[in-house]
Each structure stands twice: as structure tokens, then as C-alpha cells.
Amino acid sequence: MPTLSLDNLTNGPDGSCDTAIIGAGIVALALAVRLQLEGRHVMLLDPKEPASGTSFGNAGYLSRGSIFPPASPEMMRRLPQLMLDPSGPLVIRPSYAHRMVPWGIRLMAASRPKPLSRIVEALAALCRDAVTSYRPLLAAAGAEDMIDVRGSLVVCRTQATLEQKAAAIPMLRKHGIVAERIDGAEARRMEPALATDIAGAVYFPDNARCVSPGALGARFAESVRAKGGTLRQTAVTKLHPQGEGWLLDTSTGPVAARQVVVAAGRWSDELLAPLGYTIPLISERGYHLMLPRAEVSLSRPCVMAEPFFAATPMRGGLRLAGTVEFANTDAPMNPRRSDKLYELAVPYLPGLRREGATRWMGVRPSLPDALPAIGAASGHRNLFYCFGHQHIGLTTAAISAQLLADVMLQRTPSLDPAPFNLDRFRRRQSDARAA
Ligand SMILES: Cc1cc2nc3c(=O)[nH]c(=O)nc-3n(C[C@H](O)[C@H](O)[C@H](O)COP(=O)(O)OP(=O)(O)OC[C@H]3O[C@@H](n4cnc5c(N)ncnc54)[C@H](O)[C@@H]3O)c2cc1C
């Protein structure tokens, strides 16, 4: 076992480091770049290539307006009906249903008016500076070309959906998010590829897109290496507290660290469970279909509202992405779900072609209250966490990194970290016992 000295640890050949970050998805990578800007020595540990999992295939949409939890009470009420259609926008695989029951109960509790308004408040605080918080990270990594701020549209085919989406505008504005209702003609002026029967759209001028989420992750990884950080291709199997620091068992030998951050997306709960943290994290899988020769072009992300999925122009083609499938993390993908995205997109984008299309599935790490877990572990010194970013991990990776860096460096954070603390689940367990 390496001897752990806690003084000025750098990344040593013996496997020691100052700050070990478990995972190398976009959340971990943004944090690594951020901590290096703060002068920290970091080591990322992941058995896979950086940003090659969920952070590779997402819709590339930086959505400041994502302040409402994706799983609404209305959706939960419609769940039995939705589940009857195996190719519908939301499915629960039967083998996963037992995991969904306790999670669903917590979700229903989080959907009551009082907790819901606190959740919306917290998501709004996180999303407000989501795009601007990327700036220093992009500059550090020479990756400014990866994010394009040209706004986004939520496109509605029916007047009823447009009314429903536009009804959220006052609430968005109250939280500092600019959103405008536009009619079909204006939507088509902005995006001529849209069908002529579009009822209208909600335009978010400050939203952005990532032109290639995988390439952004690779740039961040290169930057971490170039600034003296280490990326170790290894799986962490166990965390042991050792004095003031940590010893990590990994598939390629032990690593000693002064501080550890668990940022392993959907797998984070498995690493924290042996230390006594019970976390209701589930696999909310989603799909994409990449169209390299779509023959239809968009200039900004368009979220198609019936049912909800995104079409984002990227380097390499048009990416259709979305749908929800609650299933075991490593269950085989269902290619039909990727293909379905094409069928859903054609009415919005006539003339869309699918030659050369590629399919993909990724796992959103989702907590029942839709808030990510960002903070310091309450039961252990020098243990931190940053995971559970569900549908908005790309959007909020940089602001999460900023918040966690503030917590780690014991600075006054720019936003309130309390709603993101994991203890919210512990408290609820003890409340339940007391009730
Ligand atoms: C279809 C789809 C579309 C999406 N679209 C958007 C979008 O447009 N905008 C947006 O903001 N978000 C979007 N998301 C969500 C976003 O992609 C995720 O929230 C985000 O990628 C999560 O990043 P992460 O770094 O937490 O997890 P991941 O990218 O999953 O990374 C976790 C890493 O941890 C590693 N790991 C696991 N176990 C261990 C271990 N034991 N030791 C070491 N490493 C380990 C894994 O190998 C993995 O590389 C979308 C998701 C999906 C599925």
C-alpha cells in the first residue's frame, strides 16, 4: 500500500494524488478543469475513455430553461397508459419495476406544491449561469469553438401544446430566464426546415448547443493532461478512509488521495453504499439516432414538444435524442427506440433522410427530486460528490463544478448548496421513521 502524506500531494508515480475524481464523464471533466484553475493537482479515474458514455451521446443542448423536473405529477398519473405502448416515449422494463416503486413514491412526494417550488428554485439557480460558467473552462481548454450560443426553440405542432408551453413563460421570466412565444411563421423564418403546419414555438435566445459533446469531453481531458493532471484508465472498486485522506482500491492497484470526489454518473451510489450512504439513484436511459446525411438542416437545437425529443445540429450530422426507458443500467439497448426518433421527427422536419444513421443508448443518473447531488459527504472528511444530473448534466456540468469547487475550497458559494446536499434523502428516511 502506498504511504499517504497529506502535505502538498501532487500526482506521484506511486499512485498518490491531491484530489482523486472518480469518473471521467462531462461532470467529472468539468470539475477537473475547474479545480486545476484553482491550482489543484487532480487525477481522474475511469475504466473507459473520457466522455465516452452518457456524456458522449446526449442531445448537446445547453438549456437554461430546464427548471422544471422532467417527471411531472401529470406524467406519473399517465404512467400506466404510457407503459402500455412499448415504443412510446416512456417505458419501464418489467425487470426494473421493483426499483421504480420506492423511487416513484419519492417522486410523488417531491411533486407536492411546496417541495416542487423549492426544487424549481434550486434548478433555476443552477441553470441561470449554466452557459456563462462554461466560459473559463472553455478558455482553459482552448475549446471555445465547442459551444455555440444561438438560442433554441421548443417547437409545437398543435395550438394546445403551444398554449401549454407558453404558460410557463411567466415562471421562467420570474427566474431570470428569457423566453418568448413565437408563431409558426416566425419559427419557420428562424428554422426554414420546419414543417408548414407548425403552430408555433417558445424561443430561448440565451440557450446554447455543444457542437460535439464527445469532442468537448476529449478537449477537457487533453487540457487536464496538458496542465499536469492524470487520467488513469481504471475502475475504482472500493473507498477506504485512511487518516485524513483516502485509499482507493482500483482494478489496476491502489491510489492514495487527500480528497476524493465521486462523480461516476449512474454508478456513484454503488461506490458510496459501502460507506453507509443510501442513495435513490436510478437508470433513466435515453436514446439517440445520428443522421449524417439528414438532408435537412437546423441552426439551433429544436425540442419537439409532441412527444418531447430534441433535434440538434452537430458536427457529423443532425442528432435526434430523447425518450425515457427505465431499465437496468447494463440491459441491452432496444434499437427500435432509436429508430422511433426518426418516425417522430419526420412530421416536424419533412424531407428528413436516415441514410447512414447510427443508434446509441445512454444512462441518465436520476434522483427522484430531479436535483443533482453536489457537496461534501456528511459522514466522512475529504469526501465529496457530484452526480445525479439526470436530463441536464451537460447544461449544468460547469456550474456544478463551480459550486463544488467553492465547497471544497471552503469559499462562500455563488449559489446556495443546501438543496443539492445528499442528506436530503437521509433526513427523509428519518422523517419517515418518525412518522
Ligand atoms: C438521450 C440523452 C440525451 C441527453 N441530452 C442532454 C442535453 O441535451 N443536455 C444536457 O444537459 N444533458 C443531456 N443529457 C443528460 C446528460 O448526458 C447526463 O446528465 C450527463 O452526461 C451525465 O454526466 P456524468 O459525467 O455524470 O455521467 P457519465 O457520462 O455517465 O460518466 C460517468 C463515468 O463514470 C465512470 N465510472 C462508473 N463507475 C466507475 C468506477 N467504479 N470507477 C471509475 N469510473 C467509473 C463511467 O465509466 C463513466 O465514464 C442527455 C442524456 C441522454 C441519455
Give me the CATH number covering residue 260: 3.50.50.60
Q: Is residue 348 part of a domain?
A: no
pTM of the entire structure? 0.95
> How many structural domains is the chain composed of?
1
The CA distance from 176 to 47, in Å, is: 40
CA of 26 to the centre of ligand 1 (A): 7
Q: What is the pLDDT of residue 304?
A: 97
Taking only the tens place, the pLDDT of each residue in 76-94 is: 677 777 666 777 788 888 8
When pLDDT is averaged across residues 261-279 and rounded to a whole number, the result is 97
CA of 28 to the centre of ligand 1 (A): 9
Residues within 6 Å of ligand 1 by CB: 22-28, 45-48, 53-55, 58-61, 235-236, 264-267, 271, 286-288, 310, 321-322, 362, 364-365, 387, 389-395
Q: What is the pLDDT of residue 114?
A: 92
Q: Is residue 356 part of a domain?
A: no
Taking only the tens place, the pLDDT of each residue in 141-171 is: 999 999 999 999 999 999 999 999 999 999 9
pLDDT band at 427; cut points 50, 70, 90: low
Taking only the tens place, the pLDDT of each residue in 22-42 is: 999 999 999 999 999 999 999
Q: Is residue 287 part of a domain?
A: no
- The parent domain of residue 116 ranges over 10-83+97-148+209-281+368-435
Taking only the tens place, the pLDDT of each residue in 373-390 is: 999 999 999 999 999 999
The CA distance from 86 to 156, in Å, is: 24
Q: Is residue 302 part of a domain?
A: no
List the residue whose alpha carbon is closest to atom 53 of ligand 1.
Answer: 286
Cell of 173: 421570466
How far from each other are the two terminal CA atoms of the chain, in whole angstroms?
46
Atom of ligand 1 nearest to the CA of 61: 8
Whether 310 has a pLDDT exceeding 70, the answer reads yes
List the residue whose alpha carbon is closest to atom 20 of ligand 1.
Answer: 393
Q: Is residue 45 part of a domain?
A: yes
Our CA dihedral for 186, 190, 194, 199, rounded to 10 degrees, sits at -20
Q: What is the pLDDT of residue 429?
A: 47
Closest of 371, 357, 399, 332 to residue 134, by C-alpha = 399
Q: Is residue 72 part of a domain?
A: yes
Taking only the tens place, the pLDDT of each residue in 227-236 is: 999 999 999 9
Mean pLDDT, rounded, of the chain: 92
Q: Is residue 304 part of a domain?
A: no
The CA distance from 167 to 147, in Å, is: 29
Whether 414 has a pLDDT exceeding 70, the answer reads yes
Q: Is residue 351 part of a domain?
A: no
